Chains A and B, each alone.
Chain A
Amino acid sequence: MSAQLEIRDVSKAFGGVQAVTRVSLDVAQGQVFSVIGPNGAGKTTILNMISGFYHPDTGRIVLDGTDVTPFSPSRIAARGVARTFQNIALFKGMTVLDNLMLGRHVHMKAGVLGSFVYWGLAQREEVEHRKRVEDIIDFLKIQDLRRRPTGSLAYGLQKRVELGRALALDPKVLLLDEPMGGCNHEEKEDMARFILDVNEEWGTTVILIEHDMGVVMDISDRIAVLDMGQKIAEGTPEDVRANARVIKAYLGETKDLPGGREGSRDEAVR
């Protein structure tokens, strides 16, 4: 089976810092694929390379059989890759509804003049896109927030709106950069629920960066572990939990644990 998203031997350096070194990942269609690792492991850099913010120094990224390595972020978005950011990136002065409508931007075809007159195509388009946005509002249960400026919302709700903005793109691949960072327990549960529902209801592939191990282990189909810019393990949550190198990366070296050899010490990572 060929992967929907294929990352082959990508490396990225910033000045003297080697952020990512020869990492390869294969993400199959419809998977929830998590990338975990300590701070500075290179997780966000990988996400930035997938979404086209950075271009890898070496290696290539293939999406649905097309090499998208040199593509700009907008071209990648147009191919159905949406993302959310670690630090929320919404237009704070605009309403929730407007932020979501903006997420439909890639699907809008009406020109400046047509939109200005708001007639024919532009109007039909607006109505059609509004329908889709209303589906998302319903899905995320934010009906009461439509007209609220996003800046006035609680942090957890802003995270939810950001997910909505990404969903408005009708993505095939959804990149989520710490969607639960800074959220309380209940907000995390809600978000995990939403991610699973998106994945299962619409078959969207999800690539997730997250620090909360409980959530990652619960909702992921596959997990890749990065440390110091290198992939040190990949597999199902059970595999990863039992992997000695992962335990070492997270807990540091222990005397009785031979470095590099894979063992089964599942309790350690929990």
Chain B
Amino acid sequence: MAPERLTTLPRLLLRNARDLARRPALREKDRGIWQTWTWAQSCAEVRDFALGLAALGVRRGEKLSVIGDNRPRLYWAQIAAQALGGVSVPVYQDSIAKELTYVWNHAEVAMIVAEDQEQVDKVLSLRADLPALRLVVYDDARGMFHYRHDWLKSFQEVQELGRKFDREHPGLFEAEVEKGVADELAFICYTSGTTGSPKGAMLTHANAIATARMAAEAEDFRVDDDYLAYLPMAWVGDAFYTLIMSLYAGFACNCPESPETVQRDLRELGPTLMLAPPRIWENMLTSVQVKAADAPWLKRSIYERFRAAAERAEILRGDGKAVPAWLRLQLALGEFFVYGPVRDQLGLRRVRWALTGGAPLGPDTFRFFRSIGVNLKQVYGSTETTGLVSLQPNAEANPTTAGRPCPGIDVRIAERGEVLVKSAGIFKGYLKNEEATREVIDPEGWFHTGDAGFIDPRGHLVIIDRTKDVGALEDGTPFAPQFIENKLKFSPFIREAVAFGHARPFVAAMIAIDPNTVGNWVERRGIPYTSYVDLSQKAEVRELIREEVRKCNETLPDATRIRRVLLLTKDLDADDAEITRTRKVRRRHVADKYASVIDAFYSGRDQIELMTAITYEDGRQATIQSRVRIEDVEAGAVVHV
């Protein structure tokens, strides 16, 4: 097949099945062993399943959704649907029923491929509300023998139908792939918008392949790379690596055994490429710190010594200065005693480059990984841009920018500082939502990201906040809440933060503590606690957080320093619609829900009765009522500047 005909993802699959037939395409750890499918085998699986769908009367353009953990069959199902001219609509498996019903109905999903009984049960409970649904397929047959419906089939059953259908209709699969054109939809990815209902971003095969080409130009992808597919399938980042980039570059994706075993699987596998949101990097760093703190004296002091040396060297490199010879010697020794073994323990020994994206990563965490020899870099993108706008070249990695726009992607800063993007990867619009589409894609084809930012002298994009959230204090000082929240969240003790200040005299913040690190901190001090509520209101914890806020304030301009804080009695939760599934604060909703808190911040009260509603995963609701203190962060000199 000539390169100009590689216009759809299924065509890439056929090419790989031919040119890379014996190279690994997918692995899954099953029964304790990594099982491998080559591109040829993988293609055969897709073929059988696609033909099975065809036998069941699936027509071009129909939508297939997958729900579950990262499993080879769920990936195959998505490509199979695309091979028949269908569209893949992955969903977040931890979504509550209402969200799932909304997405499946809105996209008119006709087929759902579910991982196991748990997910099938979810679908069954909603089936009455899903008029478009015709077929449910399950991967793991465990516990499914009771379920007898015409429209419920196992993955093998469908593949069996496919093989039979193939004998009756030889060449049909290839003909269907041949019919596919670049402008057809490949994915509808629902963005858990920070306001209102989720919107379905329509991505075409052309979007996918153009973005893959641009990524391949900006970054070094190799056919023998390994990628661990452990992020939610509904997130564009996962689809980009596992379904787009791996098909384009021919590397292997690896599915972990279960969500609980990811850390061990990561180490066994030693992937060469890595993508993780800041939360994962922070967790890894915490685990290293905890282990170091628990190590015997000698080990601990060796670790501390070399870690400090690496950090000094990293800071020098970041400033573009030379690393002196004696420090280089220490680094060489450190590589042998500390950095190499730590990377090995974390499963990062073979990583050539690793990306962090989705939210800013704290500079300390960023520096730690770079100093121990992990080539960690920032990437910026969104669902609407097929996941990619800019990333940092190897020599220009730093914790503050979002990197250089990739070749072929135009970035422009509009008035009010909004970042605009134009490329072949920009999506076709939101499904059944012309109005929202017009709001973000202007007549000239620029996509309005809704992020405020600027281009720094080196040509890197720097993101400050969401445009619509940028406001001003009463005296006119610009106020970017997310910028402040991210600085707060760099503290290991703070999990979530919401800052207020628009049209107010000063900045105040609600903080949700991280129960693990804070719990560990109080335990080490021998302070007993019972629950999250209790922990968050301990005098010692309040003092700890106040100190963290003070540290954060030192890095902020005087006017936007945080004057008052309140520790929430529960974490912000996507089930309560306070944050999105990708952990972005739904600001307006939170402002309404916690109106009494905001009121108390600015009326000078020092405690309030806080009523918080909690939604359980099954949709039940409960409320916690508690008396919560509001802390004044001693601004000291700050007030009088």
Interface size, A (range): 10 to 19
Nearest A residue to B256 by beta-carbon distance?
A: A143
Interface string of B112-156 (1 = CB under 8 A from A): 000000000000000000000000000000110110000000000
A143 engages B142 (CB within 8 Å): no
CA distance A172 to B143 in the complex (A): 19
Query: A143: which of B32, B143, B145 is its contact (CB, 8 Å)?
Result: B32
Bound-state CA distance A197–B145 (Å) is 9
Docked pose: A143 CA to B30 CA in angstroms: 9
- How many residues on the B side are at the interface (Cβ–Cβ under 8 A)? 13
State the Cβ distance, B518 to closest chain A Cβ, in Å.
22
B31 at interface (Cβ–Cβ under 8 A)? yes
Q: Whose C-beta in chain A lies nearest to the C-beta of B116? A: A141
Asked whether any CB of chain A lies closer than 8 Å to the CB of B384, the reply is no
**Which chain A residue has the least Cβ–Cβ distance from B145?**
A200
Q: Tell me if A193 counts as interface (CB < 8 A to partner B).
A: yes
Residue of B nearest to A193 (CB): B143
B260 within 8 A of A: yes
B interface secondary structure, majority: loop
Closest to A200 in B: B145
Interface residues of A in 155-208 (CB under 8 A from B): 193, 196-197, 200-201
Q: Which single residue of chain B is at the shortest CB-CB distance from A194?
A: B143
**B142 — which chain A residues lie within 8 A by C-beta?**
139, 197, 201
Give bound CA distance, A144 to B259, whole Å: 9
Whether A141 and B143, one on each chain, are in contact in the complex, defined by CB atoms closer than 8 angstroms, is no
Q: How far is the CB of B119 from chain A (nearest CB, A)?
A: 14
Interface centre among A135, A137, A143, A196 (most CB of B within 10 A): A143
Interface residues of A in 109-138 (CB under 8 A from B): 130-131, 134-135, 137-138
Distance of A85 Cα from B244 Cα, bound (Å): 51
- Closest residue of chain A to B143 (Cβ to Cβ) is A197
Q: CA of A135 to CA of B31 in the docked complex: distance in angstroms?
A: 6
The reply on B520 being an interface residue by CB < 8 A is: no
| Chain A min CB distance to B401 (Å) | 37
B264 within 8 Å of A (CB atoms):
yes
Residues from chain A with a CB closer than 8 A to the CB of B260 are: 143-144
User: A134 to chain B: which residues have CB within 8 Å?
Assistant: 31-33
Q: Which residues on A sit within 8 Å (CB–CB) of B261?
A: 143-144
Other-chain contact of A144, B30, B143, B258 (Cβ < 8 Å): B258
B32 touches which one: A137, A193, A200, A201 (CB < 8 A)? A137
Contact A131 B31 (CB under 8 A): yes
Question: Bound state CA distance, A193 and B30, in angstroms?
Answer: 22
* A-side interface mostly: helix
B143 touches A138 (CB 8 A): no
Interface string of B229-261 (1 = CB under 8 A from A): 000000000000000000000000000011011
Residues on A with beta carbons closer than 8 Å to the beta carbon of B33: 134
Taking a contact as CB atoms closer than 8 A, the residue among A131, A141, A201 that contacts B145 in the complex is A201
Cβ distance B144 to chain A, nearest Cβ, rounded Å: 10
CA distance A201 to B144 in the complex (A): 9
For the complex, what is the distance from the CA of A12 to the CA of B230, rounded to whole Å? Answer: 57
A200-B117 Cα distance, complex, nearest whole Å: 15
Chain A residues positioned under 8 Å from B143 (CB to CB): 193, 196-197, 201
The complex places the Cα of A197 from the Cα of B142 at a distance, in Å, of: 8
In chain B between 539 and 597, which residues have their CB closer than 8 angstroms to a CB of chain A? none
**Residue A146 lies at the interface, judged by CB distance under 8 Å to chain B:** yes
Select from chain A the residue with minimum beta-carbon distance to B259.
A144
The proximity string for B residues 184-215 relative to A, scoring 1 for CB distances below 8 Å and 0 otherwise, is 00000000000000000000000000000000
Question: Nearest chain B CB to A98's CB is how many angstroms away?
Answer: 14
Asked if B31 and A138 make an inter-chain contact with CB atoms under 8 angstroms apart, the answer reads yes
A141 and B258 in contact, given A193-B143, A197-B143, A200-B145 (Cβ under 8 angstroms): yes
Bound CA–CA A150/B258 (angstroms): 20
**Contact pattern, B 30-46, Cβ under 8 Å of A = 1, otherwise 0:** 11110000000000000
- How far apart are the CA atoms of A139 and B264 in the complex, in Å? 20
Interchain CA distance A244-B296 in the complex, whole Å: 66
Provide the bound-state CA to CA distance between A86 and B258, in Å. Answer: 30
Q: Which of A138, A139, A141, A146 contacts B30 (CB 8 A)?
A: A138
Q: How far is the CB of B408 from chain A (nearest CB, A)?
A: 42
Nearest CB in chain B to that of A130: its residue: B32
Chain B residue contacts of A141, Cβ below 8 A: 258
Chain A neighbourhood of B258, CB < 8 A: 141, 143-144
The answer to whether A146 and B145 touch across the interface, beta carbons within 8 angstroms, is no
Q: How far is the CA of A200 from the CA of B145 in the complex (A)?
A: 8
Question: Given the complex of chains A and B, what is the CA–CA distance between A135 and B142 in angstroms?
Answer: 11
Task: Give min CB distance, B437 to chain A, whole Å.
Answer: 43
Bound: A139/B258 CA distance, A:
13
Which residue of chain B is the closest to A196 with respect to CB atoms? B143
Contacts of B32 in A (CB 8 A): 130, 134, 137, 143, 146
Shortest Cβ distance from A95 into chain B, in angstroms?
A: 13
Question: From residue B68, how far is it (CB to closest CB) to chain A in Å?
Answer: 14
Distance in angstroms between the alpha carbons of A247 and B60 in the assembled complex: 62
Q: List, in ascending order, chain A residues with CB within 8 A of B257's CB.
A: 143-144
Contacts of A196 in B (CB 8 A): 143
Which of B32, B261, B264 has most chain A Cβ within 10 Å? B32
Cα–Cα, bound, A130→B33 (Å): 11
Q: Report whether A144 and B264 are in contact in the complex, using a CB–CB cutoff of 8 Å.
A: yes
Roughly how many angstroms separate A134 CA and B33 CA in the complex, as a whole number?
9
Q: How far is the CB of A142 from chain B (nearest CB, A)?
A: 9
Interface readout for A21-59 with B: 1 if CB under 8 Å, 0 if not?
A: 000000000000000000000000000000000000000
Expressed in whole angstroms, the Cα–Cα distance for A196 and B145 within the complex equals 11
Task: Give Cα distance in the complex from A1 to B143, angstroms.
Answer: 28
Assembly CA distance A139 to B145 (angstroms) = 15
* Cα distance A141–B259 in the bound complex, in angstroms: 11
Q: Give the chain A neighbours of B264 by CB distance below 8 A.
A: 144
Q: How far is the CA of A141 from the CA of B257 in the complex (A)?
A: 10
Q: Which residues of B contact A131 (CB under 8 A)?
A: 31
CA A134 to CA B257, docked complex, whole Å: 12
* B200 CB to nearest chain A CB (Å): 33
The residue on B at minimum CB distance from A135 is B31
Contacts of B30 in A (CB 8 A): 138
A146 to B268, CA, bound (A): 14
4 cross-chain pairs, A with B, having the tightest CB-CB distances, nearest first: A144-B260, A134-B31, A144-B261, A143-B257
Supplied contacts A134-B31, A144-B258, 12 more A-B pairs, CB within 8 Å = A138-B31, A139-B142, A141-B258, A143-B257, A144-B257, A144-B261, A146-B32, A193-B143, A197-B142, A197-B143, A200-B146, A201-B145
8 CB contacts below 8 A, A to B, read: A130-B32, A134-B33, A135-B31, A137-B32, A138-B30, A139-B142, A143-B257, A201-B143
